[in-house]
C-alpha cells in the first residue's frame, strides 16, 4: 500500500484532520462519525456552523447508508453516468448516521464519489465517508494546487497529501430533494436538468380528442384518445396507461405541462384541474409555476 495512503488512514482513524487532492479541488477532511474531529475541522476552516459540508464516499453502497431517500431514479440518471466524477448529489440525510453539524442543522446531505484513486482507496480502507469541503478558510479562494493552500490551514491539520487536481474546478451540485431537480452550482460537470426530467403532458383543448404524453430525457411519447367518455375519467385512464408503459409511478413525474388554451373552455378546465390536483399531491410545478399559480384557460 502507498505510504501516503497508509498515513492518511492512520491519521483519520485516530480522529485527525487531513488535506488532500481530489479530481476537482483540494479538500479538508475527517471521518463523518467523529464529532470532535468535525468540530475541529469547522474551527480550522472558520466555517459557519449552519453551513452544511459535502462528504466523499468510495461506493454507492456506502452512500446509501447516509441518504434517507429512494435512489432508484438518481442511480439511473445521475450515478450510473457521472460517478465517480465531479457531481455532488443532495438528498435527504439519514439523521441517525449524519451528525447535525455535517448537515448544517438541516435535513439534507451532499455526497460525491470522486474520480481520484488515492482518496477513493483512503475512504474505502477507512470504511466511512470523509468530510470534504474545499481546503480554504471560509470565503477565501478555492485551492486547486498545493501551492495555493493557506499556510494557516497547512499548519493546523495533521497531514497534507501531495497530488494534482485534474479538473481544477469545483464539483457541480444538484439538489434532488425537489422536483424538478435543481442545479445549485454549475461546476466542472455540465448537466442539462431538462433532459433528465419526466414531464407529464396534458392536452384537453379539443372536444374530440385527448392527448396525454410523457417527455422522458427530452423524448416525447404521446397517446391520443377520442372523447367518447367523460374527459376527466378518460384523462386519468390515459395518464395511468402512459406511466405504466414506461414503468413509472406518479411520484416519478418531475413536472406537468398542460395546454391552457386556446380551445374548449370546458375541456381546458378539466385538464388544468387534473394538472393542479396532481401538482398539489406530488409537489411539482405545472408549466414551470408553483402549485395554485396556473391561470384560468384561454378559450375561443
Specify the range with the lowest mean pLDDT, choosing from 39-53, 188-202, 222-236: 222-236
> Rounded distance, CA 217 to CA 77, Å?
9
Answer yes or no: is pLDDT of 209 > 90: no
> Rounded distance, CA 219 to CA 225, Å?
20
> Rounded distance, CA 205 to CA 151, Å?
66
Residue 229 confidence (pLDDT) = 60
Q: Which tens digits make up the pLDDT trace of 114-136?
A: 999 999 999 999 999 999 999 99
> Rounded distance, CA 178 to CA 202, Å?
22
Answer yes or no: is pLDDT of 221 > 80: no
| Span 229-258, average pLDDT | 85
End-to-end CA gap in the chain: 75
Residue 291 confidence (pLDDT) = 54
Q: Domains, the chain, ranges and CATH?
A: 3-193 (3.90.870.10), 197-282 (3.30.420.40)
Q: What's the chain look like in SS3?
A: CCHHHHHHHHHHHCCCCEEEECCCCEEEECECCCHHHHHHHHHHHCCCCCCCCCEECCCHHHHHCCECCCCHHHHHHHHHHHCCCCEEEEEEECCCCCCCCCCCCCCEEEEECCCCHHHHHHHHHHCCCEECCECCCCCCCCCCCHHHCCHHHHHHCCEECCCCCCCCCCCEEEECCCCCCEEEECCCCCCCHHHHCEEEEEECCCCCEEEEEEEECCEEEEEEEECCCCHHHHHHHHHHHHHHHCCCCHHHCCEEEECCCCCCHHHHHHHHHHHHHHHHHHCCCECCECCCCCCCCCCC
Residues 177 and 89 sit within 8 Å (Cβ to Cβ): no
Q: Which tens digits make up the pLDDT trace of 248-268?
A: 888 888 889 999 888 888 889
Which of 117-121, 182-186, 191-195, 233-237 is modeled with the greatest confidence?
A: 117-121
Considering only residues 192 and 169, tell me which one the structure prediction assigns the higher pLDDT: 169
Alpha carbon 212 to chain centroid, angstroms: 28
101-120 burial, b at 16+ Cβ within 10 Å, e below that, comes to bbbbeeebbbbbbbbbebbb
* Averaged pLDDT score across all residues of the chain: 90
In degrees and rounded to multiples of 5, residue 3 shows phi and psi of -65, -35
Q: Which three cell numbers stand for residue 3?
A: 505510504
Answer yes or no: is pLDDT of 299 > 80: no
Residue 249 confidence (pLDDT) = 86
Specify the range with the lowest mean pLDDT, choosing from 180-194, 221-235, 285-299: 285-299
Answer yes or no: is pLDDT of 61 > 80: yes
Q: Which tens digits make up the pLDDT trace of 84-98?
A: 999 999 999 999 999
Considering only residues 300 and 175, tell me which one the structure prediction assigns the higher pLDDT: 175
Answer yes or no: is pLDDT of 230 > 70: no
Residue 290 confidence (pLDDT) = 58
Answer yes or no: is pLDDT of 58 > 90: yes
Q: Percentage of the chain surpassing pLDDT 90?
A: 63
Residue 298 confidence (pLDDT) = 37
Amino acid at each position: 500500500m502507498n505510504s501516503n495512503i497508509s498515513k492518511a488512514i492512520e491519521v483519520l482513524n485516530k480522529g485527525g484532520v487531513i488535506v488532500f487532492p481530489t479530481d476537482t479541488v483540494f479538500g479538508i477532511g475527517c471521518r463523518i462519525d467523529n464529532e470532535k474531529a468535525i468540530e475541529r475541522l469547522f474551527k480550522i476552516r472558520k466555517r459557519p456552523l449552519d453551513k452544511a459540508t459535502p462528504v466523499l464516499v468510495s461506493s454507492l453502497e456506502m452512500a446509501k447508508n447516509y441518504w434517507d431517500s429512494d435512489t432508484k431514479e438518481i442511480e439511473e440518471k445521475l450515478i450510473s453516468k457521472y460517478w465517480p466524477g465531479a457531481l455532488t448529489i443532495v438528498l435527504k440525510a439519514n439523521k441517525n448516521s449524519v451528525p447535525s453539524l455535517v448537515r448544517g442543522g438541516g435535513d439534507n446531505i451532499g455526497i460525491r464519489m470522486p474520480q481520484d484513486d488515492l482518496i477513493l482507496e483512503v475512504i474505502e480502507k477507512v470504511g466511512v465517508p470523509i468530510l470534504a469541503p474545499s481546503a480554504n478558510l471560509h470565503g477565501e479562494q478555492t485551492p486547486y494546487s498545493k501551492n495555493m493552500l493557506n499556510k494557516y490551514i497547512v499548519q493546523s491539520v495533521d497531514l497534507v497529501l501531495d497530488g494534482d487536481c485534474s479538473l481544477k474546478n469545483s464539483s457541480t451540485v444538484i439538489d434532488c430533494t425537489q422536483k424538478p431537480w435543481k442545479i445549485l452550482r454549475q461546476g466542472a460537470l455540465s448537466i442539462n436538468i431538462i433532459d433528465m426530467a419526466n414531464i407529464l403532458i396534458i392536452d384537453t383543448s379539443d372536444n374530440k380528442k385527448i392527448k396525454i404524453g410523457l417527455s422522458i430525457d427530452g423524448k416525447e411519447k404521446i397517446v391520443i384518445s377520442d372523447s367518447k367518455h367523460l374527459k376527466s375519467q378518460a384523462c386519468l385512464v390515459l395518464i395511468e396507461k402512459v406511466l405504466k408503459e414506461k414503468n413509472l409511478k406518479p411520484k416519478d413525474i418531475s413536472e406537468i405541462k398542460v395546454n391552457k388554451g386556446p380551445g374548449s373552455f370546458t375541456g381546458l378546465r378539466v385538464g388544468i384541474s387534473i394538472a393542479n390536483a396532481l401538482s398539489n399531491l406530488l409537489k411539482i410545478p405545472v408549466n414551470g409555476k408553483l402549485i395554485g399559480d396556473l391561470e384560468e384557460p384561454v378559450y375561443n
